[in-house]
A and B are shown apart, each in its own frame.
Chain A
């Protein structure tokens, strides 16, 4: 086995180890539970509010949409956050100091973020099923949609996260990005159908992957009649694959060179400097 493949194998084990660690760390588990609670509050409030002409409640519309949002957020923001943090604390420099360590680090991060995304979706899904009616009752065919929407959603969002994480100067910058992200949620059809928005905002929302992941999950989990609430009364599977595929291609074209550039600049001196700055901020 070539050293690169060997390092990729080490990265797989690294990803599993980190996943096990996050699920056994109190603070992290609290984070997953808190996220679930935050999602469930509006769901609970609107579980009996009917969605016009769709034959489901607004709560039922929100559940798959919020799962899609969770996936897209984890893919982009968690990846960016982890990368920026691990650049600052020296994890990346360690990876750089061992042979093909960056390969292992990257593979490990993909496993870690994907696993985190699935776990962050599973918990609200399980709880939400008890709160609202009519979700995930369509049987095998519709559920098969999950098999391509979820991996494609991760593929579309992880490289974007990697690019953001490489470009920001410190993990604290990620916090500032949360504001535009909130705006993105409003125009992505998570809490109400995009068809209720003015035409131009709809177009903007349809540029970003959050909308498409949400739409894909709705098509898999909602009854067929619920399609009435969507733009053009269609699940737009082809467009979903196209939009997410485009983000995937763009991300995979851009991310490797941005990551390489970021890694090349890592050195003990650069890290010591960031450490100094972060400490000043704390102290």
Chain B
């Protein structure tokens, strides 16, 4: 059961000629005398799901906030939906969705009331092609909050609040959605439902940029994974491509005359062929486990730290 394969099977590849939604070149961020971002560069095409990984303090949130227009960059070229976020107007903002980690805001509001209110700001930006905002009833159903529609926000459980956060983020039918650690604190079931929701949005051509610390989640959702470490993007590609880049080794397990063996190898196919050539039918219980994203990620971050 190699999780890397689930990705290529479940996903159709993003449109090849899709236009560029995010274009970041040589993004730099300096706090006082410390460089947090030292030349970040990447692009995202329409309908792509990008997952940004990296150790704590690597600058993931900073990067996202620069793209959202909430933070001024020190240097570099950034284009989001064809506009520099530092000069993005409200028309531009209406095309973005931002999923914020709520704490206790709007506690007295009822769920339906709040979504209808925040959605109403998007009415002037509705087009024939893209009716805005999202119908509240449909949206509640999409995030699984129909039963809680008339409850006060303060009475929602943690998981329900996160789903409300997502609903608020997408109420304006954004072309580009930012999610900063959206599944932190969600139970496995809620997490799974959330993944379905993100996939559904991507299938409707919404571009998604999210950060997470959950590597299995990244592997499951991402069309492309970016690893941000040491102030730069050190890896950019699908989970498969990353594992090839990182020279992470696959693990081969087998038994010979009932005794278990294990070997780590970068060339599992050749290794297994040799194994059969040598021992033939005596080989049993063969298992090849390719490097998971977690192995790849840890290898890359470790290599980077060793190189310093």
Contacts and interface: CB of A to CB of B under 8 A. Distances in A.
A268 B90 contact: no
Interface in B50-104: 61-62, 64-65, 68, 70-71, 90-91, 93-94, 96, 98, 100-104
Say whether chain A's binding surface is mostly helix, strand, loop, or mixed: helix
Contacts of B124: 1-3, 6, 99
A99 B90 contact: yes
A3 B113 CA distance: 21
Interface stretch (A11-19, A43-51, A217-225, A227-235): A11-19
A281 to B, nearest CB: 14
Interface stretch (B19-27, B114-122, B137-145): B114-122
Contacts of A266: 70
B172 A90 contact: no
Contacts of B180: 268
B108 interface: yes
B101 A272 contact: yes
B125 interface: yes
A95 B195 CA distance: 26
A94 B104 CA distance: 12
B103 A90 contact: yes
A94 B100 contact: yes
B105 interface: yes
A267 B70 contact: yes
A10 B121 contact: yes
B140 to A, nearest CB: 18
B123 interface: yes
A101 interface: yes
Contacts of B109: 17, 21
A7 B125 CA distance: 12
A258 B104 CA distance: 25
A106 B109 CA distance: 17
Contacts of B111: none
B65 A3 contact: no
A277 to B, nearest CB: 12
Given A21-B109, A268-B65, 10 more contacts: A3-B90, A3-B124, A10-B117, A13-B117, A89-B103, A98-B172, A101-B118, A104-B121, A266-B70, A268-B100
**5 tightest A-B CB contacts, nearest first:** A99-B90, A99-B94, A91-B105, A21-B108, A3-B124
Interface of B: 61-62, 64-65, 68, 70-71, 90-91, 93-94, 96, 98, 100-106, 108-109, 113, 117-118, 120-125, 168, 172, 180
